[in-house]
Chains A and B, each alone.
Chain A
């Protein structure tokens, strides 16, 4: 089985490099693209691009092993026997022998170390942020808006959901004092939607995946995911409180309040408010065609993995290991 692990790791590495290149070259570059589709759809598409260097190799290696497994199960049409024993089989039924050279484990190990280092740097930043968040929560005060809501003594309009394990909603005194009851209920429903969806945790995973890509490709994908996430919470708030118009009105009210306050931090590349208001006023219709297209695309990818890619990768690995 060691031989199979070597071959699977090498194949995974080649597929991952290919997927990474495709994302870097072809991933959408506009932050708010596809705004006419539902937030759920855009979240799936955005994350499919973002995580492609991780899930594509897993899917392709699994698909590439399918012919051997199916051949063994059915009892005929054994793919590996048809090829003879002249190359490394990417197959658990006919595992290849251990490679003669050291490339089989040296190459995947060096890439794994590089990926590990990038993930460690990103995690270190995230942990630093978690400590700042704990400090921020520690300085906040309890509120009468709910056990999960705490107050910040800031005049700016701020509403945040923070924390990965224990999630807390923080709202500023400035926001609470400026909004009417319905608008405040919308803000809280929106933030509670972030809590129930586990958005702060998913955002951390998105960050880790994005760290493996160059900034030019990662930033637009993160922007798309962030916009879709906000729109999904807007939709949830609309269901809970007063409908889409109430949410759109609240967004405009908070933006109006923001106009008179200095900005905090650095803005993302594009405005999310306009896209959110437009989507609330004119929601997209659900489309089965897109789902069908996505499924056809995935099936094609797996078929290519099980067919031509399977054979090509076996020959490549044989050439590399001998």
Chain B
């Protein structure tokens, strides 16, 4: 889907992507209004960030009148899923060592096991209630 260097985002790139995820397709002027004005940067700087994101394959663009309109190729949720999958497969064990997950991301016990655990917990709750 993406190469890792494409996913290394600068702060401005991250904010630009955020704006496109939140507000949908925008031209450089629209993005500048949302992230550039508050930072005191020019439309050209915002345009450069848009071009970089386009070059990384994270945005696609269509020409409308004289300006490009940019939209995110993947949603925030899809990109997050891609990152989690990529992290989990780094060491070939679901990130069991490096990702401190509340529940192993690949954990899927059978229905029987889960019912047994739920029954054990319910029994203990009932004992404590008596």
Contact = CB atoms under 8 A, between A and B. Distances in A.
Interface residues of A, number: 63
B98 to A, nearest CB: 5
A250 to B, nearest CB: 8
A219 B83 CA distance: 24
Interface string A25-41: 00000000000000000
Given A129-B90, A158-B105, A160-B100, A249 B80 contact: no
B37 interface: no
B87 interface: yes
Interface in B82-127: 83-109, 111, 113-114, 117-118, 120-121, 124-125
B64 interface: no
B87 A129 contact: yes
B73 to A, nearest CB: 13
A97 interface: no
B9 A138 contact: yes
A140 B100 CA distance: 17
Nearest to B109: A271
Interface stretch (A84-92, A103-111, A262-270, A294-302): A262-270
Nearest to B128: A245
Contacts of A267: 94, 104, 106-108
Given A138-B9, A191-B100, A249 B121 contact: yes
A281 B104 CA distance: 20
Interface of B: 4, 7-9, 14, 17, 75-77, 79-81, 83-109, 111, 113-114, 117-118, 120-121, 124-125, 128
Interface of A: 125-126, 128-129, 131-136, 138-140, 152-155, 157-162, 187, 190-191, 194, 199-200, 203-204, 206-207, 210, 219, 222-223, 226, 229, 233, 245, 248-249, 251-252, 254-256, 258-259, 263-268, 271-274, 277-278, 281
20 contacts: A125-B90, A125-B91, A126-B98, A129-B95, A131-B8, A132-B87, A132-B90, A134-B8, A139-B83, A162-B100, A191-B100, A207-B97, A207-B98, A233-B100, A254-B102, A255-B103, A263-B106, A263-B107, A264-B88, A281-B124
Given A158-B84, A191-B102, A259-B108, 18 more contacts: A133-B87, A139-B76, A154-B77, A154-B80, A155-B77, A203-B97, A204-B98, A206-B97, A223-B96, A248-B120, A249-B121, A265-B87, A265-B106, A266-B92, A267-B108, A273-B104, A273-B107, A273-B109
Closest 8 CB pairs of A and B: A265-B88, A267-B106, A159-B102, A135-B7, A263-B106, A136-B83, A265-B94, A264-B105
